[in-house]
Amino acid sequence: MFIKVQSATNLGLDTIGVDIELNISNKGLPGFEIVGLAGKSVGESKERVRTAIANSGMEFPQKRIIVNLAPADFPKEGSFYDLPIAIGILSSILEFKIPEKSLFFGELSLDGTLRHTRGALLLALFAREKGFRNIFVPKQSSNEAAIISGIKVFPLQTLQELVSNLLGKIKIMPAKYEQKRCPGNGFSEFDMAEILGQEQAKRAVEIAASGGHNIFMVGSPGSGKTMLARAVPGILPYLDEKESLEVTKVYSASGNIPPDGSIITICPFRSPHHTISQIGLVGGGSNPSPGEISLAHRGVLFLDEFPEFPRSIMEALRQPIEDGVLTIARSRARVKYPARFMLIASANPCPCGYLYHPKKACVCSEREIKKYKKRISGPILDRIDLHVEVPVVEADAFSEDEKKRPREFSSAVKQRVLLAREIQRERFLNENIFINAEMKNKHIKKYCLISKQARQILNQAIASFNLSARSYFKMIKIARTIADLSKTEIIGANHIAEALQYRSKFYET
């Protein structure tokens, strides 16, 4: 008896259809064999399927069962083949028909219930693209898949339930999408209003958020760099539908969507510790999985204590910062992950942290400071648009009067950011970019009109600060964002002057 069940596997963010072919024969010794380059987790599926069927109150057939995963020439990994294999076997003994144009996907628990399985969203996208009508997924994974319209997503709690449904005894209703708050990448921990002083740094962060620029903060310990960075998600706009799907795809493929989770609408905020490995940051492994930079796609990647990161890891960031995508090539697979993130890096000005401190004396020797600064890669600094110093909070900021002074809340800052983003969105409607930070030189020529006075200042600055060509365009990009924040079409002298303050001063001692 020959049975075919359809499923699909995710390779990075691409989905490949997999046919599960079963041959159940009366001849030969009873046995259960899986072929088709099944990996360890697929091989173990044999035991899960056998036990789950027995524990669902059905009998596992004492026949010779051969399962082939076609196409048989690429390696299969993952636990989601459990459901299609089980349903194929059961259809031979209970004689129900496997519905056409349907995909089955899910990991079985030994008691016959279905467990949350990663990658359901990608499966749903694949199903719609390839003209499938139904997908059967575990209930806990059904919500993320249900966002995709045009296909029916059937949530399953147990194997028994699906069998009863296919036998026509009960009816399972297709899942309806429900937006829930995703824990873990929720709202920002800090509000801008909680941060004392630091008006200039707050302004810089606002500019960075508006234009999606990378930002580098230098300051003494305890001055509020980390708080500022952690407040950024609170002033960034929500993701639009297209961005949400892009981000959720990465999270779904890597199993970062919690059970019953919905799609991600809030900018991701990732802050890996500096002991992270290169593969942890940019992604990799023999079955390449996304790294922190891909998990920070369309969101914020915060690298606290930037000089503590190993040099090789910093250099690995160079190409993704420029391109916004990363191709991970390994012997078994070649996978492309998106990585368009806003980088926030922070550092102390010297090893002891108190260089430029108004009261405390720095105890570092000149050589130590040089060595410390050299740890940060110059090319990376060059790719960071905004450089800002976060000075020590003055003592009078703690006085009662100062505390009572009204400070701006994140929600107010967010309004301005949203307006600036809206201007950018309209500007780049016919381009393939969304934000000022993504502008290439041709876009700058086209969209950045600079007043005569402003150009004069810029030219003077280039001469006196020895700015590189890249820095020159960087300044215009920042000035563009500043102008957008003040809703001006033409970049004026004041915008350029402000932008020039955010140039890199890290190597100037």
Partner 1 sequence: MKHNKTLGRVGEDMATEYLQNKGYKIVEQNFQNKWGEIDLVCEKDNRLVFVEVKTRIGEQFGLPEDAINKNKINKLIKNSQAYMVYKANKINNIYMYRIDAVCIVLDEEMNLKRINLYENITM
Rounded CA separation 34/89 (Å): 12
Quick one: 27 or 97, whose CB is closer to partner 1? 27
Q: CB atoms < 10 A from the CB of 508, how many?
A: 8
Q: Which residue's CB is nearer to partner 1, number 27 or number 452?
A: 27
Element (H, E) at 379: helix 378-383
Give the nearest distance from C-beta 30 to partner 1 in angstroms: 5
Show the beta-strand stretches assigned E in 147-291. 152-156, 215-219, 269-270, 283-284, 289-290
CB 42, min distance to partner 1, A: 21
What CA–CA distance (Å, rounded) separates 365 from 376?
Answer: 18
CB nearer partner 1, residue 28 or residue 131:
28
Minimum CB–partner distance for residue 66 and partner 1 (Å): 10
Q: How far is the CB of 26 from partner 1 (least distance, A)?
A: 8
Alpha carbons 19 and 68: distance in angstroms, whole number: 8
Spatial neighbors of 375 by CB under 8 A, at least 6 apart, are 307, 311
| Chain centroid, CA 445 distance in Å | 31
CB of 62 to partner 1, least distance (A): 7
Shortest distance in whole angstroms from residue 64 CB to partner 1: 7
Q: Which is nearer to partner 1, 64 or 407 (CB)?
A: 64
Coil, strand or helix at 111: coil
- Six-digit token string for 132: 């499938």
Closest approach, Cβ 22 to partner 1, in A, equals: 16
Least Å distance, CB 108 to partner 1, is: 22
Give dist(CA 251, CA 10) in Å, integer. 13
Nearer to partner 1, 27 or 169 (CB): 27
State which residue, 28 or 406, has the beta carbon closest to partner 1. Answer: 28
Binding residues vs partner 1 (CB under 8 A): 25, 27-30, 62, 64
Q: How far apart are CA 66 and CA 88, in angstroms?
A: 11
Q: Which lies closer to partner 1 via its Cβ, residue 27 or residue 405?
A: 27
Dihedral angle, C-alpha 434, 435, 437, 439, nearest 10 ° = 60
Phi-psi region of 240 (alpha: psi -120 to 50; beta: other; left: phi over 0): beta
CB 24 within 8 Å of CB 89: yes
Question: C-beta of 68: minimal distance to partner 1 in Å?
Answer: 16
Question: For residues 50 and 383, which CB has a smaller minimum distance to partner 1 in the complex?
Answer: 50
Q: How far is the CB of 109 from partner 1 (least distance, A)?
A: 24
Distance CA(279)–CA(296), nearest Å, equals: 15
Task: Output the CA–CA distances (angstroms, integers) from residue 443 to 242, 313, 459, in the order listed.
Answer: 23, 30, 20
Q: Where are the beta strands (DSSP E) in 2-110?
A: 2-11, 14-25, 31-35, 64-70, 102-104, 107-108
- Contact assessment for residue 83 and residue 163, using Cβ atoms and an 8 Å cutoff: no
- Alpha carbon distance 469, 252 (integer Å): 40
Pick between residue 66 and residue 276 the one whose CB is nearest to partner 1. 66
Q: Which is nearer to partner 1, 62 or 411 (CB)?
A: 62
Residue 459, judged by CB atoms within 10 A of its CB (0-12, 13-18, 19+), counts as: exposed
Shortest CB 111 distance to partner 1, Å: 22
Nearer to partner 1, 62 or 509 (CB): 62
